[in-house]
Amino acid sequence: MGKVVAAAAVVCTAAVCAAAVLVMRHRMKSSGRWAKAEAILRELEEKCGTPTGKLRQVADAMAVEMHAGLASEGGSKLKMLISYVDNLPTGDEEGVFYALDLGGTNFRVLRVQLGGKEKHVVKRESEELSIPRHLMVGSPNDLFDFIAAAVAKFVATEGADFVLPPGRQRELGFTFSFPVKQISLASGTLIKWTKGFLIEDAIGQDIVEELTKAMERIGLDMHVTALVNDTVGTLAGGRYNNADVIAAVILGTGTNAAYVERANAIPKWQGLLPKSGEMVINMEWGNFRSSHLPLTEYDQILDAESLNPGEQIFEKIISGMYLGEIVRRVLCRMAEEASFFGDDIPPKLGDPFILRTPDIAAMHHDTSADLKMVGSKLNDILEVPNSSLKMRKMIVEICDIVATRGARLSAAGILGILKKLGRDTVKEGEKQRSVIALDGGLFEHYPEFRNCLINTLKELLGEEVSESVVVELSNDGSGIGAALIAASHSQYLEVEES
Ligand code: ADP
Ligand code: MG
């Protein structure tokens, strides 16, 4: 074929194609548009499906990974970090204890007066401060000096109703929500910064030592008794109020779980058995992944475009940071392929993370006949002014599919922990109760998510076992938890016991 003829053929084919597209567009405008959108929706529903059998496979995989992670370092995607918390609070603790919570741009200092057995928390006071941006990327000394000064200022406001026995040092539990390699209860080196912090010189340093030195520099006499992560703190807070608490799960911006393991079930711990025979394990379960997880093309692209591709896959399908974004990605495809919002794609829809999980929670929660809330969210966030009821209904369905998958998988994860502990069955004559302490904005403020999680756990456990397993909201455990751990590991305990 000569060049001219070939070119003419190409032009001609292109013209035919363009015409075909126009015709298709026109047809789609009427009925085809909805049919295509409906097809995308059904495909999403199928790919996100979490039938009971699949959830059992996920739970089994979670239990297997827990074993593997405990058996050897790097043996699993689950880090299964030893927290060195081997003595959870019982409620009998007494005295004044401090906590410092650093996990984002805000940090919190808190003090509690613990009154022992019946009295529990007699008094608590706290203060929240934000960390100036320049300190998040400056030198370690500047950051820790700033924190130490804030603690000192807070200590100075301690009233007479907080009682420190004479001759004793004040003690503090430090919740530090960045990846740390823990060396003992009160020492750990920083592995890396996240959440906007970047102070190179602090990486590899012992965080407790840095804080202690800073407090010494300003003459503050304070003993850092424990360095903990927020999930471990939540577990301690839950246990303080309820002796049956055996695990804690956080479902907030991210997700994580911690649980109480029998120390002799931890191979690398043998020979170093704590007196209690127990050890709290920080699972870092957000990094769990398994071939049984129902992943969609939306999840795959979200992951690939994320700051940490290939990591935190479980977190990316169940936690608050991502649920809204998954819904946005589905809507994008519907806009592109099914002209879901009409001929033009709403420009705002292209902004990553513009749909936040609280927004999809609000739309999901809308039970009004005309789905008013969905309409106003579409108008306010995506600048889609005139949404039809049909459109709104489909959007609610997308929210439902995405949230349901997250909630059901969270329940499967909890079943995995119960399995690992042999608490997924009832033993003859035994009346053991297992309480899971839950915290985090997603669980607390998204009722459809919360109820689905609770119901799914019941479905998985069956009626009889369900009666002995309770999911309990334990908010603020992460704040007070570190103070409680400082109390249950106080440097003066040995003295008191002997
Ligand atoms: P963090 O996890 O950052 O420590 P929280 O536990 O308070 O903080 O959780 C905050 C997260 O919870 C938000 O990022 C959001 O994803 C989710 N969240 C907050 N409010 C709601 C809500 N009303 N509906 C659904 N999710 C919510
Ligand atoms: Mg939190």
Q: How many Å apart are CA 112 and CA 95, to the nearest integer?
A: 8
Q: Pairing mode, if any, of strands 434-439 and 245-251?
A: parallel
Among 228, 230, 249, 237, which Cα is nearest to 469's? 249
Residues, the chain, total?
A: 498
Is residue 4's pLDDT more than 60? no
Which of 253, 316, 475 has the most ligand 1 atoms within 8 A of CB, as the residue to mutate? 253
Angle between helices 52-71 and 389-420 (to 10 degrees): 40
Is residue 153's pLDDT more than 90? yes
CA of 255 to the centre of ligand 1 (A): 11
The per-residue pLDDT for 429 is 78
Topology annotation, domain 84-228: Nucleotidyltransferase; domain 5 (3.30.420)
Rounded mean pLDDT, 4-15: 49
Q: Comparing 58-72, 195-209, 450-464, which segment has the lowest mean pLDDT?
A: 195-209
Is residue 238's pLDDT more than 70? yes
Whether 177 is a known active-site residue: answer yes
The per-residue pLDDT for 276 is 81
Residue listed under structure tokens 């996100």: 48
Rounded mean pLDDT, 44-72: 97
CA of 446 to the centre of ligand 1 (A): 9
Q: 4-18, 195-209, 404-418: which has the highest mean pLDDT?
A: 404-418
Is residue 21's pLDDT more than 80? no
Number of neighbouring beta carbons within 10 Å of residue 125: 15
Using a 6 Å cutoff on CB, does residue 89 contact ligand 1?
no
The per-residue pLDDT for 30 is 56
Rounded mean pLDDT, 188-199: 86
The per-residue pLDDT for 29 is 59
Residue type present at position 134 = H
Using a 6 Å cutoff on CB, does residue 442 contact ligand 1?
yes
Q: How many Å apart are CA 53 and CA 60, to the nearest integer?
A: 11
Using a 6 Å cutoff on CB, does residue 358 contact ligand 1?
yes
Percent of the chain with pLDDT over 70: 92
Q: Which residue has the higher pLDDT, 256 or 263?
A: 256
Whether 230 is a known active-site residue: answer yes
Rounded mean pLDDT, 160-181: 92
Using a 6 Å cutoff on CB, does residue 443 contact ligand 1?
no
CA of 189 to the centre of ligand 1 (A): 28
- 177, 339, 387, 474: the catalytic one is 177
The per-residue pLDDT for 40 is 98
Using a 6 Å cutoff on CB, does residue 290 contact ligand 1?
no
Could you tell me the residue ranges of all domains in the chain?
Answer: 50-82+242-475, 84-228
Q: How confident is the model at residue 259 (pLDDT cuts 50, 70, 90)?
A: very high
The per-residue pLDDT for 354 is 97
The per-residue pLDDT for 497 is 55
Secondary structure, 3-state, 84-114: CCCCCCCCCCEEEEEEEEECCCEEEEEEEEE
The per-residue pLDDT for 43 is 98
Which of 357, 377, 439, 478 has the most ligand 1 atoms within 8 A of CB, as the residue to mutate? 357
Q: Which atom of ligand 1 is nearest to the CA of 177?
A: 4
The per-residue pLDDT for 274 is 76
Using a 6 Å cutoff on CB, does residue 476 contact ligand 1?
no
Percent of the chain with pLDDT over 90: 79
Is residue 152's pLDDT more than 60? yes
- Which residue's alpha carbon is at the smallest distance from atom 21 of ligand 1? 358
Q: Comparing 18-27, 34-43, 311-320, 410-419, which segment has the lowest mean pLDDT?
A: 18-27
Rounded mean pLDDT, 343-352: 96
- 230, 303, 359, 439: the catalytic one is 230
CA of 250 to the centre of ligand 2 (A): 7
Among 357, 393, 398, which Cα is nearest to 374's? 393
Rounded mean pLDDT, 440-458: 97
What digits encode the pLDDT tens for the residues 262-312?
Answer: 988 887 766 666 778 899 999 999 999 999 999 999 999 999 999 889 999
CA of 361 to the centre of ligand 1 (A): 11
User: Nearest bound ligand to CA 321?
Assistant: 1
Whether 217 is a known active-site residue: answer no
Using a 6 Å cutoff on CB, does residue 317 contact ligand 1?
no
Strand partners, 439: 250
Is residue 19's pLDDT more than 60? no
Strand partners, 334: none
CATH number listed for the domain at residues 50-82+242-475: 3.40.367.20
Tell me the torsion sign for CA atoms 46, 50, 54, 59. Answer: positive
Rounded mean pLDDT, 244-272: 88
Is residue 448's pLDDT more than 50? yes
Phi and psi (nearest 5°) for 456? Answer: -65, -40
What mean pLDDT value characterizes the chain?
Answer: 91
Among 56, 82, 78, 55, which Cα is nearest to 67's? 78
| pTM of the full structure | 0.90
Q: How many Å apart are CA 328 and CA 69, to the nearest integer?
A: 34
Using a 6 Å cutoff on CB, does residue 477 contact ligand 1?
no
Distance from CA of residue 451 to its chain's centroid? 17
Q: How many Å apart are CA 17 and CA 375, to the nearest integer?
A: 36
Q: How confident is the model at residue 79 (pLDDT cuts 50, 70, 90)?
A: very high
Q: Which two tokens stand for residue 49?
A: 């499906």
The per-residue pLDDT for 479 is 82
State the alpha helices, DSSP H only, in 312-365: 313-318, 320-338, 357-364
CA of 371 to the centre of ligand 2 (A): 32
